[in-house]
Chain A
């Protein structure tokens, strides 16, 4: 962790219009939860669709995308990353610091609202709200690492990330069973299931598969991003 890199990253991430954009995600979730609570439908079904599908399935990946790419892709795009890179700082330190900022932001703007939404829709019982929140914590962290790597590796990070989040996680995951094993959302749900009471949350992936995959992907993405940053080529303007 480098405090200066962290400070610059936080200010860049939250200081501009993106800060307001980030607030939209939890706001949407909480408003929908409040509306749903008044609808009188089955609490458990509501929790599964709002927390499982909307939050873990869509809002967490989108927030992870905005934050994960936002902590570095913007700087690479406008060239200001030069000021971080022209220093005798180990590249992995820059990456892990930015990752820590991304994860903390994802937690604050996605995992915490998921917990609140769970309490609103279902109440504190059966470990359901906490379960989904923990699921959002772990999947949010992995999304941050993945999208941070995308931000370093490609100039089209947001498009590539959206393609992954929407096409793979939402579409393919819904129709092709095998694809769910390779879905961050399902890994998150698997962890959520283990936290909540039995039978409260469904997931297609066993915990013994999900945890190594979560850790493996996060670590691999972080290492890859560090290596990639060390060899970052700035395109000359000529």
Chain B
């Protein structure tokens, strides 16, 4: 049982606050760290992996501080986001070197096992510089797994992977989680996190926005008021017909845009209602576009609630 505890942690760089008073506990199983780009995910992962000291608060692994404590690496495997590795080494040499650096008793066997785990034996004699992004990612995984760690930290591991590689990696991480290891990965893509992690931590603008079961948070995300921009053959008539229904909270006639700005209460209800109402009233719909579907707006909604 390895547990990473982040206790009232803040981190600032000069005047910029990257992480603002976050507390969370990452236990066994797969946890997704979700947030838009620039939210502070990498800063958090850097602190969890001992490459950044918190400005305030404490980051610990089973009670031991992580910052300036090399002994934690016996338990932690780290897959950094940056691609650069020792490009002049072959995959085999690279993973073997990592095993040796860990001081393992049989580094050769450990390296073989790790490369088999990520299914990279077929390319292990090629120089890392010739690898594709997905291959590099897998060799980096192997180097992180070579000492059989209890904790696996991955910073944006799916970036640049093709769908097949993505599925493979997800399967691997799922297996580790099921084994009782503590797996944490960061992502800015909702669907990735949804497929892999049941437990998620959401970080927005340096703050801890949500924590818990994915489905609950997903519901929060979809149940928020949605805004749409609608153009039709008769905006005023459409507005009158829509406002009568409970799934619409407000409608504004935007004279400049020549469109309706509609605030819907619930996503499902409104999307089925709109075409029905339009059809009944004999109105043609020209444009129906969600005005705030970007991930950032989903996140900022979460923060404000």
Chain A contact residues, CB within 8 Å of chain B: 2-5, 7-8, 11-12, 15-16, 78-80, 82-91, 230-234, 236-238
CB pair B81 A237 closer than 8 Å: yes
In the complex, chain B residues whose CB is within 8 Å of the CB of A84? 101
Check A89 against B70 for contact (C-beta < 8 Å): yes
Residue of B nearest to A15 (CB): B88
Does B51 touch A at the CB level, under 8 Å?
yes
User: Cβ of B46: which chain A residues have Cβ within 8 Å of it?
Assistant: 234, 236
- Residue in A11, A79, A234, A236 whose beta carbon sits within 8 Å of that of B89 in the complex: A11
Q: Identify B73's interface contact among A80, A88, A230, CB under 8 A.
A: A88
Residue of A nearest to B82 (CB): A79
Interchain CA distance A7-B259 in the complex, whole Å: 68
Contact B49 A8 (CB under 8 A): no
- Alpha-carbon separation in the docked complex, A80 to B42 (Å): 16
Instruction: With A84-B101, A89-B101 as known contacts, state yes or no: A232 contacts B86, CB within 8 Å.
Output: no
Given A11-B86, A238-B41: 6 more A-B contacts, CB < 8 Å: A12-B88, A82-B80, A83-B94, A234-B46, A236-B18, A237-B81
For residue B76, CB closer than 8 A to chain A, the reply is yes
Contact with A along B11-49 (1 / 0, CB 8 A): 000000010000000000000000001111111001001
Residue from B81, B88, B103 within 8 A of A11 (CB atoms): B88
A-B contact pairs, 24 of them (CB 8 A): A5-B101, A11-B86, A11-B89, A79-B84, A80-B84, A83-B94, A83-B98, A83-B143, A84-B101, A86-B76, A88-B73, A89-B103, A90-B70, A91-B70, A230-B68, A231-B53, A231-B68, A232-B51, A233-B51, A233-B53, A234-B46, A236-B42, A236-B46, A237-B82
> Which chain A residue has the least Cβ–Cβ distance from B87?
A80
Contacts of B237 in A (CB 8 A): none
Q: Which residues of A contact B94 (CB under 8 A)?
A: 83
The 4 tightest CB contacts between A and B, nearest first, are A236-B42, A78-B84, A79-B82, A4-B100
| A88: chain B residues within 8 A (beta carbon) | 70-71, 73-74, 102-103
Q: How far, in whole Å, are A80 and B84 apart by their CA atoms in the complex?
A: 6
B67: nearest chain-A partner, CB-CB: A231
Our pick among B37, B49, B68 for the contact of A86 (Cβ within 8 Å) is B49
| A36 to B: closest C-beta gap in Å | 38
In the bound complex, CA of A80 to CA of B46 (Å): 14
Where the two chains meet, the residues of B that have a C-beta atom closer than 8 Å to any C-beta of A are: 18, 37-43, 46, 49-53, 68, 70-71, 73-74, 76, 78, 80-82, 84-86, 88-89, 94, 97-98, 100-103, 143
Q: Are B18 and A238 in contact (CB under 8 A)?
A: yes
State which of A2, A82, A231 has its C-beta within 8 Å of the C-beta of B78: A82
A87-B70 in contact given A231-B53, A236-B52 (Cβ < 8 Å): yes
CB of B206, distance to nearest CB on chain A (Å): 10
Complex CA–CA separation, A82 to B98 (angstroms): 11
Contact A238 B38 (CB under 8 A): yes
Contact status A237-B42, CB under 8 Å: yes
CA distance A236 to B49 in the complex (A): 12
B52 to chain A minimum Cβ distance, whole angstroms, is 5
A14 to chain B, nearest CB (A): 10
Q: A80-B86, A231-B53, A233-B53 are known contacts. Are A8 and B68 too (CB-CB below 8 A)? A: no
Q: Which of A78, A79, A90, A236 contacts B43 (CB 8 A)?
A: A236
Chain A residues, CB < 8 A from B101: 2, 4-5, 83-84, 87, 89
Q: A230 vs B112: C-alpha distance in the bound complex, in angstroms? A: 30
CA distance A85 to B52 in the complex (A): 12
Cβ B52 vs Cβ A233 within 8 A? yes
Which residues of the partner chain B approach A82 to less than 8 Å between Cβ atoms?
51, 78, 80, 82
Q: How far is the CA of A233 from the CA of B47 in the complex (A)?
A: 9
